């Protein structure tokens, strides 16, 4: 989450007139994250909602998919934001020529320091989400898989060594390797695809919900685990084995992995590390002037990728 499009309170009150809601009491910009503009809204009846303005990286054509996905998960009793309809029954509105939506506020907050207790719950929730979405009829291709990585690499080509000398060669070498080794026959379905710690809420150390489904797409279930390995289970020393072991245990307590999925995890983990290296490098190079959030450091995923290139078993 972030604030790229500043809104005055009067502007927010104007758009809220389309909804059957109590009077607005306060609006707070949410600075975490990098993708969309978000405000936490507080109302006179003590209810709270999240207003999201979708910035340029989110395609307007994909928004019905995201809204319907969250509605489907809420119907399946999976804790996530549920979109709110206007008086006219619309789930989307327009604010400053940008599509926007209101969703329910989830109790809890992201944890800044986590351990194996947290990652086991993340693994279990991930598998429950995958199973809950098995009968979801919506489909959306992953535009941040191999082809997408190649496109981003082409856009930032010639500028990566300004971040770290040798980064250009590392990216090109890894892209070539992944193009040859990326699997094509693993179990797949709809995944969150961005299940970072700031998108998972805990209340008294119990997982209370998952937010920010705006990268959700169809891909390998095990790729979701590989993403979470990178952002939940790695640090400067490499793989944090207690956190990774409990994440796997939690996941397999709901959905056991196949032999092929387990064998593919080292490859998928390298792909996940490259994805976030590329998107962070892109956002650093093309950071919008005046944005109220700093771009995230790609070097964390340079470190992860270098470790994973040497790891044969995870």
For residues 110 and 202, is the Cβ–Cβ distance under 8 A? yes
CB 114 within 8 Å of CB 241: no
* Structural domains of the chain, ranges and CATH numbers in brackets: 9-104 (3.30.200.20), 116-308 (3.90.1200.10)
Q: pTM value?
A: 0.90
CB of 92 within 8 A of CB of 63?
yes
pLDDT per residue rounded down to tens, the chain (314 residues): 467 889 999 999 999 999 999 999 999 998 765 578 999 999 999 999 999 999 876 788 899 999 999 999 999 999 999 999 999 999 999 999 899 999 999 999 999 999 999 999 999 999 999 999 999 999 999 999 999 999 999 999 999 999 999 999 999 999 999 999 999 999 999 999 999 999 999 999 999 999 999 999 999 999 999 999 999 999 999 999 999 999 999 999 999 999 999 999 999 999 999 999 999 999 999 987 666 567 889 999 999 999 999 987 66
Q: Are 280 and 296 in contact (CB under 8 A)?
A: yes
């Amino acid at each position: 989450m972030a604030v790229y499009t500043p809104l005055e309170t009067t502007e927010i009150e104007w758009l809220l007139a389309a909804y059957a809601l109590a009077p607005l009491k306060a609006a707070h910009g949410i600075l975490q994250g990098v993708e969309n503009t978000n405000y936490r809204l507080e109302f006179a009846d003590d209810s709270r909602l999240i207003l999201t303005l979708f910035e340029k990286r989110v395609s307007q054509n994909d928004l019905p998919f995201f809204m319907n996905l969250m509605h489907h998960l809420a119907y399946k009793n999976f804790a996530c934001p549920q979109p709110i309809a206007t008086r006219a029954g619309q789930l989307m509105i327009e604010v400053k020529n940008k599509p926007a939506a209101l969703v329910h506020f989830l109790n809890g907050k992201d944890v800044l320091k986590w351990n194996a207790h947290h990652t086991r719950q993340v693994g279990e929730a991930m598998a429950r989400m995958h199973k809950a979405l098995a009968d979801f009829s919506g489909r959306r291709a992953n535009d941040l898989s191999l082809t997408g990585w190649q496109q981003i690499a082409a856009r930032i080509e010639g500028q990566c060594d300004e971040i770290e000398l040798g980064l250009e060669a590392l990216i090109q070498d890894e892209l070539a390797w992944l193009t040859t080794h990326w699997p094509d026959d693993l179990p797949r379905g709809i995944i969150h695809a961005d299940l970072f710690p700031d998108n998972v809420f805990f209340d008294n150390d119990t997982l209370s919900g998952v937010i920010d489904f705006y990268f959700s797409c169809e891909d390998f279930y095990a790729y979701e685990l590989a993403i979470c390995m990178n952002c939940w289970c790695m640090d400067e020393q490499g793989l944090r084995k207690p956190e990774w072991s409990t994440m796997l245990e939690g996941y397999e307590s709901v959905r056991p992995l196949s032999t092929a999925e387990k064998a593919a995890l080292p490859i998928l983990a390298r792909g996940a590390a490259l994805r976030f290296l590329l998107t962070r490098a892109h956002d650093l190079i093309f950071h919008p002037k005046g944005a109220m959030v700093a771009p995230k450091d790609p070097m964390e995923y340079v470190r992860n990728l270098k470790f994973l290139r040497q790891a044969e078993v995870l």
